[in-house]
Amino acid sequence: MAKKVQVIGLETIPDIKAGDDLAKIIVEAAMKEGVGIENGDIIVITHKIVSKSLGLVFDLNEIEPSERAKEIAQKTRKDPEFVELILREARRIVKVRPPYIITETHFGHICLNAGIDRSNVCGDPWICATLPKDPDKEARRLREKLERLTGKRLAVIISDTYSRPHRYAQIDMAIGVSGMKPVKDYKRKLDAYGYRLRFKMQAVADEIAGAAELVIGQTKEKIPVAIIRGYDFESDDNASARQLSLIELGYKDIFEDIKLIPKPASRNSKGK
């Protein structure tokens, strides 16, 4: 277990355009900033620059909304063109509860609005970036190119911001993983007092994505890539972020059936 882990944000990544060689740009930025890329580094890349490099940027003015999109838009008070793009990018609509549209993506990720982003794309709210069609595939492609360029053994995580069920605020999580096991399994291991663990599994890829977000930020930081250095991960050439998805693993999403019971009024509020 590492006692010291570094999180290094790369500040000289330029605005990414369709067709840009992300791996080359990342290596050049790491060299320019004097941090380089070392053996065992984990490269965390925001999905937005991956999507931009793949040309997954859409002008809502060019989208014709369907009748279903118009109906959902009216309920949620969203632009019908935006809702149409959500419908195209979703495997299914899990729930519509105004103003939210909860979806399952084609790769099994449960999220709001099919993960479509308007922020940090270009400044025009009618220009949106969608998620990569297969984030694991893109993570693998980037890792292989980064390893060829550097001669180092690496792992790559593609991250996105996620709203958690029954938790306030958002965190970053892994939607694409390559080169490392995304889950650390402690089942049947003994704890410090000799108790044998039964269910403990650590979502290390999500934790690493969350740590990277501390330097990547969400607004004007312009740091879309972070290097995690010093964490001793378990290598896995067949890794997939789908190993973190209960839906992809065949489990029922229990949160779909949960109805929150309203919090009872406090005694002090009576008679007010």
> What class is the 57-131 domain?
alpha beta
pLDDT tens per residue across span 173-184? 999 999 999 998
Longest Cα separation, the chain: 72
The 10s digit of each residue's pLDDT in 139-184 is: 999 999 999 999 999 999 999 998 877 778 888 999 999 999 999 8
DSSP 133: S
CATH 3.90.1660.10 location in the chain: 57-131
Q: How far apart are CA 121 and CA 14, in angstroms?
A: 13
Task: Write down the pLDDT at residue 271.
Answer: 47
Mean pLDDT of the region 35-62: 97
Question: Would you say residue 267 has pLDDT above 60?
Answer: no
Query: Can you tell me the distance from the alpha carbon of 226 to that of 214, in angstroms, rounded to the nearest whole number?
Result: 10
Q: Are 179 and 155 in contact (CB under 8 A)?
A: yes
Asked whether the predicted pLDDT for residue 268 surpasses 70, the reply is: no
Please state which architecture CATH assigns to domain 1-54+133-253.
2-Layer Sandwich (3.30)
Total-model pTM: 0.87
pLDDT band at 189 (very low <50, low <70, confident <90, very high): confident
Residue range(s) in the chain whose domain bears CATH number 3.30.1330.100 = 1-54+133-253
Instruction: Enter the tokens of residue 148.
Output: 């060829």
